[in-house]
Amino acid sequence: MSFERLGLVAPLVRAVAEAGYREPTPIQLAAIGPALAGRDIVGCAQTGTGKTAAFALPVLQRLDASAENDPKIRALVLSPTRELAAQIGECFGTYGKHLDLWHTVIFGGVAEGPQIRALREGIDILVATPGRLLDLMRRGFVDLRGVEVLVLDEADHMLDMGFLPDVKRIVAALPARRQNLLFSATMPSEIRGLAETLLRDPVNVGVEVVSKPVDQVEQRLYFVDRANKPNLLLDLLRERGVERSLVFSRTKHGANRVVQFLDKSGVRSAAIHGNKSQNARTRALDAFKRGELTVLVATDIAARGIDIDGVSHVINFDLPNIPETYVHRIGRTARAGASGIAWSMCDGDEREFLADIERLIGRRLERVDEHRFPASHAASAPAANARPGGGSSRPAPGGGAPRQRRGGGRNGGGGARRGR
């Protein structure tokens, strides 16, 4: 099946061909047709499945079909994090490069001036994080009365970050008659509830089951004491074939400590997390993408949705306390069909998390016993039995995730306006 046969117009088909896409991914196959027909969509899909194009292409086509001389916001895309918002903005630029449509991205943590200017000049597509958008709406800079399409991306994550009340406030400012496209990697009951109140007779396009990690990823587990994790990390990074690795830390401080340790050991790396300025994060990501840095240390929130090609290894320096997060993390090393490798370290305190993960993915991770820093805790006991009867170590929704600042710091960037 080609993009053309999905009903996409020539300028979009040309743009995806130029982006190197040969054929639609399953989520694109399932979503693009109904979305072009104007249907509401509930898409259950992880990042890495091509879901951005699954909504961006139909949005672009719809807006292009009725574009007027003076642009006004006709599509609103809400995203939980600034990184993801920026990336979605880039995708609109890539896919829409042969169309005469304008988009901009607004998020907190950077100067609002350029964003306000772009809004004033007129845009067709607005990609925004909820906090900054609400702030600019309240101050009268954003007119959403012309919105025809609403996209909610990573709705489950918006829920985790406590954004749901903001999302509801934003939705209340939109025209009632509109197309809604909702994407979420998981479908907790709150998201189902939101979908029911927002969507009209939606088409369900659940192509990816979150409990099934990307099959091509080779997964291994190292039992190790906490104090030895940095040394083991160093050994792992020196293994053959480790070209570009994304190291996950549960906390921002942990991420900083890993970077400091690697630095002292002569390995160049950078951390991305919520305490870093947007500019620092962008710089780190760019250096990583260009290959100047071979190791990027990230927290889950900062890494969520970031699209980095060619990550050879995901290394879980800490196991995540939410098992679905493990699936998200390892998905970063097998994007759009390429295979990858995910190694995880587990100390004695993390065995419960391991049990949750193995229960979710329905298999036991392959243990590596041969390494220089074997754990003092009972490494070979089957972790999946560690918590008989189950129960989850998940925190309550909304816990833990830093909320984006509304008024925002002021350090430039954002708001670039682009079109043809």
DSSP 296: E
Q: Which two tokens stand for residue 381?
A: 């006991």
Query: Of these, 32, 53, 142, 144, which contacts ligand AMP (CB under 6 A)?
Result: 53
CB of 60 closer than 8 Å to CB of 12: yes
Is 51 one of the binding residues for ligand AMP (CB under 6 A)? Answer: yes
**Residue spans of beta strands (DSSP E) within 190-329:** 203-204, 218-223, 245-248, 269-272, 295-298, 313-316
- The tokens 């880039």 sit on which residue? 90
Nearest CB to ligand AMP, comparing residues 160 and 307: 307
Binding part of the chain for ligand AMP, among 48-56, 141-149, 207-215, 281-289 by CB under 6 A, reads: 48-56
CA distance 236 to 254: 18
| Residue 413 token pair | 């960037």
Residue 333 lies near ligand AMP (rule: CB under 6 A) = no
Phi, psi (deg, nearest 5) at residue 209? -95, 125
Among 6, 12, 15, 25, binds ligand AMP (CB under 6 A): 25
Q: Based on the shown chain and the rule CB under 6 A, indicate whether residue 21 belongs to the binding site for ligand AMP.
A: yes
- From the list 49-57, 97-105, 160-168, 271-279, the region that binds ligand AMP by CB under 6 A is 49-57
Q: What does the block give as tokens for 406?
A: 């509304």
CB of 278 to ligand AMP, least distance (A): 20
Q: What is the CA radius of gyration of the chain?
A: 21
CB 208 within 8 A of CB 25: no
> Which of the stretches 18-26, 125-133, 152-160, 265-273 binds ligand AMP when contact is defined by CB under 6 A?
18-26
CA distance 12 to 35: 15
CB of 47 to ligand AMP, least distance (A): 5
Question: Are the beta carbons of 355 and 383 closer than 8 angstroms?
Answer: yes
Where are the extended beta strands (E) located within 249-320?
269-272, 295-298, 313-316
Q: Which stretch binds ligand AMP (CB under 6 A): 43-51, 68-76, 175-183, 225-233?
A: 43-51
Which among 262, 244, 207 has a CA at the least distance from the CA of 341?
244
- Which of 229, 304, 335, 351 touches ligand AMP by CB under 6 A? 335
Nearer to ligand AMP, 53 or 119 (CB): 53
Of 144, 132, 28, 12, the closest CA to residue 76 belongs to 144
Q: Is there binding between residue 52 and ligand AMP (CB under 6 A)?
A: yes
Q: Work out whether 336 is an interface residue with ligand AMP (CB under 6 A).
A: yes
Does 24 interact with ligand AMP (rule: CB under 6 A)? Answer: yes
- Choosing from 39, 44, 49, 334, the residue that interacts with ligand AMP (CB under 6 A) is 49
380 phi and psi, to 5 degrees?
-90, -5
In the complex, least distance from residue 24 CB atom to ligand AMP, rounded to whole angstroms: 5
Measured from the CB of residue 51, what is the shortest distance to ligand AMP in angstroms? Answer: 5
Interaction of residue 373 with ligand AMP, rule CB under 6 A: no
Show the tokens assigned to 411.
């350090």
Q: Which stretch binds ligand AMP (CB under 6 A): 44-52, 63-71, 174-182, 389-397?
A: 44-52
- Least Å distance, CB 277 to ligand AMP, is 24
Which amino acid does the sequence have at 414?
Answer: G
In 245-361, DSSP assigns E strands to: 245-248, 269-272, 295-298, 313-316, 341-346
Report if residue 313 touches ligand AMP, rule: CB under 6 A: no
Q: Minimum distance between the CB of residue 30 and ligand AMP, rounded to whole angstroms? A: 13
What's the min distance (Å) between Cβ of 128 and ligand AMP? Answer: 18
310, 296 contact by CB (below 8 A): no
CA distance 339 to 347: 27
The span of 45-53, 67-75, 195-203, 276-284 binding ligand AMP (CB under 6 A) equals 45-53
Q: What is the rounded distance in angstroms from the CA atom of residue 222 to the CA atom of residue 243?
A: 20
- Residue 371 CB burial class (10 angstroms; 0-12, 13-18, ≥19): middle
Tokens of 368: 């590596």
Would you count residue 361 as binding ligand AMP (CB under 6 A)? no
Q: Does 340 bind ligand AMP (CB under 6 A)?
A: no
Q: How far is the CB of 168 from ligand AMP (least distance, A)?
A: 25
Nearest by Cα to 288 from 280, 277, 276, 300: 280
Pick the binder of ligand AMP from 36, 41, 47, 322 (CB under 6 A).
47
Q: x/- contact string, 74-103, with ligand AMP (CB under 6 A)?
A: ------------------------------
* Interface residues toward ligand AMP, by CB under 6 A: 21, 24-25, 28, 47-53, 307, 309, 335-336
